[in-house]
Amino acid sequence: MTHAKAFAKINIGLLVGQLREDGRHEIVTLLQRIDLGDDISLEPAVELAVEGFAEDTIVRAALESIARAAGVEPRWRARIEKRIPVASGLGGGSSDAAAALGLANALLTSPLARESLHCLASDLGSDVPFFLESGAQLATGDGSDLEPVELPTDYHVVLVVPTGSVKVSTAAVYRAFDERGGGEALAGRMASFRRVVERLSRPEDLGALPPNDLVSSPLAERLRAMGAFRADVSGAGPTVYGLFERKDAADAAAEELGEVGRTIVARPVAR
């Protein structure tokens, strides 16, 4: 049996452009792993089985896709131990899928090339290729075009998942974005985003990146009032994060905001 940790991510800034011909939107975002993660295990089996998380569809799809690409039967048993909140904007499903692809590839007699894995990952979802890489990445295009970025990691992340929040589908979030006239010309804003990224040297410099175009939350303002040098919604939400220099300030914010939902204090994962 082989094992992998499937880490969550946060989006540090998210710019969204027009709808592409392939049905996805043009985006620019910084993707950073954090040390909150699911555990994925995989072993040979008589037939495909995914255990531990009844709601899974993407790990099964990942294993079926790599089996087709490799010309083999998907004879594996996967087990998912969930710790990342479900449908939270933290990329848990995408990370699980990437971990499953990597584990299955390692069990193949003739493993697929890196480029082939990336293509399979992209077909599963625009976030999935990121989780095949290490370190922070600048994601462009539909989110699957990736460039490694050296980011400061000496800070603490407070995650707030509001109680009773029901996440609508990511597609519905983007549809609402289009309906309110989002997607202004991306080129100039992308250039500004890149300039900020190029100047990053201290954790607090991350505060200069623009906020999430898709969704916002009043909880971000509360986190900033508690000392966060950056606070925003991750992905399509509903999770809100705050970045803090000091652990004691992060712990205090997490305790206070426990009244509005589940809170988690995490750290960014370095390369």
Residue spans per domain, the chain: 2-148, 156-266
Distance CA(119)–CA(190), nearest Å, equals: 25
Q: Name the residue with higher pLDDT: 22 or 91.
A: 91
Provide the pLDDT confidence category of residue 167 given band limits of 50, 70 and 90.
Answer: low
CATH architecture entry for 156-266: 2-Layer Sandwich (3.30)
208-258 tens-digit pLDDT:
999 999 999 999 999 999 999 999 999 999 999 999 999 999 999 999 999
> Is there a catalytic annotation at residue 127?
yes
- Fold held by 2-148: Ribosomal Protein S5; domain 2 (3.30.230)
Do 242 and 220 form a contact (C-beta atoms < 8 A)?
Answer: yes
Distance CA(13)–CA(31), nearest Å, equals: 9
59-106 tens-digit pLDDT:
999 999 999 999 999 999 999 999 999 999 999 999 999 999 999 999
Do 8 and 90 form a contact (C-beta atoms < 8 A)?
Answer: yes
Provide the pLDDT confidence category of residue 157 given band limits of 50, 70 and 90.
Answer: very high
Percent of the chain with pLDDT over 90: 86
Distance CA(212)–CA(197), nearest Å, equals: 16
> Is there a catalytic annotation at residue 9?
yes
**∠ at Cα 256 (250, 260), nearest 5°?**
115
Distances (CA, A) of 44 to 4, 80, 211, 246: 15, 15, 44, 45
Mean pLDDT, range 153-182, rounded to an integer: 86
Distances (CA, A) of 163 to 37, 160, 226, 239: 21, 9, 20, 10
Please list, in sequence order, all residues whose beta carbon lies within 8 angstroms of the beta carbon of residue 217, skipping any fewer than 6 positions away: 162, 233, 237, 238, 240
Q: Which of 9, 38, 56, 142 is catalytic?
A: 9
Q: Which of 38, 56, 96, 127 is catalytic?
A: 127
Residue-level pLDDT at 219: 98
pTM (two decimals): 0.94
Residue-level pLDDT at 164: 84
Candidates 32, 13, 249, 242; CA nearest to 153 is 32
